[in-house]
Amino acid sequence: MIDYKSINVLELVKPDGGKYSVSSIEDAFEFCRQITVSHYENFPVSSFLIPKYLRKYVYSIYAYSRIADDIGDELSSIGKEEQLKSLDDYENLLLNRTIQKKGNPVFLALHNTMNETEIPSEPLQKLLTAFRMDINFNQSKTFQELENYCFYSANPIGELILRLFKNYNDRTAYFSDKICTGLQIANFWQDLSVDLKQDRVYIPSDILLKYKLNIDDLKNNKKTENLISCLNELYLHSESYLNEGFELVKYLNNYRFRLEIKATVNGGLSIIKKCRSLNYNILYIRPELSKLDFFKIFMRLIFNSK
């Protein structure tokens, strides 16, 4: 099993995959599977609810996204110029769909996925735009700017999954975008304590101003009623996106896919509940879902409730 923390992601920017080069499509998909299952998420990634014949494709999309995310988020030590160049090289590998049987495992698997499922490159490229925005991070001034970031960072994932299920259209895309934006924003509040240490704050500046707060108040763990009111507004925003997006299940043509979406939305709502329960402590504690939380989500699926 791959220890993801030990992976040198820059090796996977090389056309041949560097030391992670594989000699078959099967090995490429297995590499992507191991990356997927070794990384924590708030909701099931390619869970048993995803039909078996689609799981390898989900693994390839996840691995592609995970590596690109880490180039934009975890490699600040190499400098912004090198990070941006690495993402450019990564995008070139995405667009160079020469049929190969060995080499970079992420792109062998991803190109196979694109060929077999007719997924276009555009949503995959949008993700890279988001990672470039991460490198040149600027705090959003408004919620509209935060939504624009989610347009690139989160919504393409929903589009890709809908396309895998042959269920992508204007109506499903609308509700999928709501879910993806809601999950992304919920993740911002979940990671508040982590991001503060990296001098990143995703709370829009006009929201902070509304509650007479500033970034130093957050960094110094300043506990005020205004902070709680601010956080509650943020949580309500996230819940609103997820609750509206839940309508997606009405328009899906696959029963197991509907269950997966229900589990995903419930995972997002559960993490918001965890954030809210931490009160001020969200400034220095990162909440996570436990096995018991996942069990409760599963039980809600069985009894067909949201």
Do residues 216 and 299 share a domain? yes
Q: Pick from 91, 106, 136: which residue ends a domain?
A: 136
What is the tally of structural domains in the chain?
Answer: 2
Do residues 48 and 159 share a domain? no
What is the four-CA torsion angle of 127, 129, 132, 137, rounded to 10 degrees? Answer: -100
**What SS3 state is found at 19?**
helix
**What SS3 state is found at 203?**
coil
Do residues 113 and 23 share a domain? yes
- AA letter at 54: L
As a whole number of angstroms, the distance between CA 196 and CA 191 comes to 8
Task: Judge whether 120 and 68 are in contact, CB under 8 Å.
Answer: no
**What SS3 state is found at 103?**
strand
- Angstrom CA distances, 287 to 197, 275, 298, stand at 16, 6, 19
pLDDT in tens, the chain (306 residues): 666 667 888 999 999 999 999 999 999 999 999 998 886 454 444 456 678 899 999 999 999 999 998 888 766 778 889 999 999 999 999 998 776 778 999 999 999 999 999 999 999 999 999 999 999 999 999 999 999 999 999 999 999 999 999 999 999 999 999 999 999 999 999 999 999 998 899 999 999 999 999 999 999 888 889 999 999 999 999 999 999 999 999 999 888 889 889 888 998 999 999 999 999 999 999 988 766 666 566 656 655 655
Domain that includes residue 115, residue range: 10-136
CATH number for the domain spanning 202: value is 1.10.600.10
DSSP state of 280: G
pTM for this model (two decimals) = 0.88
